[in-house]
Amino acid sequence: MNSTDRMTPTRILALASLFLFGTLAAPARESQDRGPQQGRSNGQAVQAKAAGCSPSTARDELDLNNVRALIETGGNMWQRRDGAGGPAYEVPKTEDRSGPDALFAGSLWLGGVSPDNQLKLAAVRFRQVGNDYWPGPLTNTGDASITADVCVQYDKTWKTLRQDAELHRAFHRCRLDPACDENVEYPNYVMPSIYEEWPAHGNIDLNQDYNLAPYADEDGSDDYNPEEGDYPGYDLDGEIDCTSRKREDAIPLFGDQNIWWVFNDKGNAHTESGGLPIGMEIRAQAFAFATNDAVNNMTFYNYVLINQGTQTLLNTYMGQWADVDLGCADDDYVGCDVQRGLGYAYNGDNNDENCNGNPGYGVQPPAMGIDFFEGPFQDYDDLDNPGPATNAEIYNCQNARDSLGIPYKGIGIGYGDGVVDNERYGMRAYLYHNNNSTVTGDPQIAINYYNYLRAIWRDNSPNLYGGTGHQADAEADPNTPRALHVPWG
């Protein structure tokens, strides 16, 4: 093992997720870094800017394939916060929930700088110290507001199966076909009750977006009517080409099993980070596929980010924070593969023992990977930004930087493919933090979270190559700053 093994703890922050898709449908872009004002250190100070929503309580599980993953509507996941608590990302899945887990907790972090140089940020970790997210959609009139009763209304998830959508469509098409008898072909068919509850439309009287959760408009009415054959919006015919899809196009439902929910950062004061609210509405999907290959051991996540406020954010970052507990948490190590844009965790030896009341993976323990599969779209520039044509090729790094391209094929998609403005970011930064109060430890105020999103330490010093990555370590090279925390030695 190399030197990284002794210095990189299990708790990490990375601009990555377990195959996370991101669509930034918002006025947010990157500019020259001017250094934001830090915002307030106490979320109560921004109470007047937020509604009085209570913390979310709803939760659900992805459990179709070989993974059992807990999802909550408050921006966090993979953690049991009730009872004795503990991790909630079990793989391989067991019937009695007795197997080891690969993750302890995870959440979405967002941050950017307003035109008046104010840091706007939303983040959450374990929800022990506070919340930055609440359920429900925001108003679209510029104030990006929400009321407590709307938060309660949307404190739930909507869990569907692709096969149910296929059956529902087939039944209704048969019903409309004179040559098909639905009573013979689909005897005793009953529409899933979740279809009647599907949140296809927001309340326009409350200034919410009319189209909310994806749906298939079988009857062509531009309204969701499940009794007429409409269904939650799976792309059943494979008509959507992800490589050519435009950022303004509607997002379908993905997976064989899907959990959809909507949350925001304006429901109350940001008591986790103390950051000023963005006015961000997040339409989220967690989904999984049942297969006979490695995909059966994966889960996927999609976020549509809609800035319902009036301010364009500059230097905007979107990151997936993860606390990786690969079985026994005492001997896990992390790093990233730059060319693949992949974060990973692995065991420190060849036997992952039971510890802290949690089962280990035993001998020959697995590794786990975290990846941006399709990240947020790059800003419009009317160019096909360059990148390598094959995985084996490396595009000149300086040329890639100067032309807003990528040097490695694994850290973005849509680069150098002949299509203008379809480029999507992969992993741009990767950093760990310790579970303590040092300069490489837990974030305390908004600027700490924002620094970690940018691979900068709490004390504003750069992440360096070698050692812990902090300038106080004699093994860290002060002449080699880095955005990606990779193995060395």
The percent of residues in the chain predicted with pLDDT above 70, rounded, is 89
Say if residue 1's pLDDT is above 50.
no
3-state SS, one letter per residue, for the chain? CCHHHHCCCCEEEECCCCCEEEEECCCEECCCCCCCECCCCCHHHHHHHCCCCCCCCCEEEECCCCCEEEEECCCEECEECCCCCEECEECCCCCCCCCCEEECEEEEEEEEECCCCEEEEECCCCCCCCCCCEECCCCCCCCCCCCHHHHHHCCCCEEEEHHHHHHHHHHHHHHCCCCCCHHHHCCCCCCCHHHHHCCCECCHHHCCCCECCCEECCCCCCCCCHHHCCEECECCCCCCCCCCCCCCCCCCECCCEEEEEEEECCCCCCCCCCCECCCEEEEEEEEECCCCCHHHHCCEEEEEEEECCCCCEEEEEEEEEEECCCCCHHHEEEEEECCCCEEEEEECCCEECCECCECCCEECCCCEEEEEEECCECCCCCCCCCCCCCCCCCCCHHHHHHCCCCCCHHHEECCCCCCCCCCEECCCCEEECCCCCCCCCCCCCHHHHHHHHCCECCCCCECEECCCCCCCCCCCEEEEECCECCCCC
Mean pLDDT of 174-201: 97
Say if residue 27's pLDDT is above 80.
no
151-161 pLDDT, tens digit each: 999 999 999 99
Mean pLDDT of 74-100: 93
> 76-77 and 105-113: which strand pairing?
antiparallel
Q: Which token pair is 234?
A: 């799976």
pLDDT for residue 63 = 97
**Residue 428 binned pLDDT confidence (cut-offs 50, 70, 90):** confident
307-338 pLDDT, tens digit each: 999 999 999 999 999 999 999 988 888 888 88
Mean pLDDT of the chain, nearest integer: 87
Say if residue 12's pLDDT is above 70.
no
**Residue 13 binned pLDDT confidence (cut-offs 50, 70, 90):** very low
**Residue 49 binned pLDDT confidence (cut-offs 50, 70, 90):** low
pLDDT for residue 310 = 92
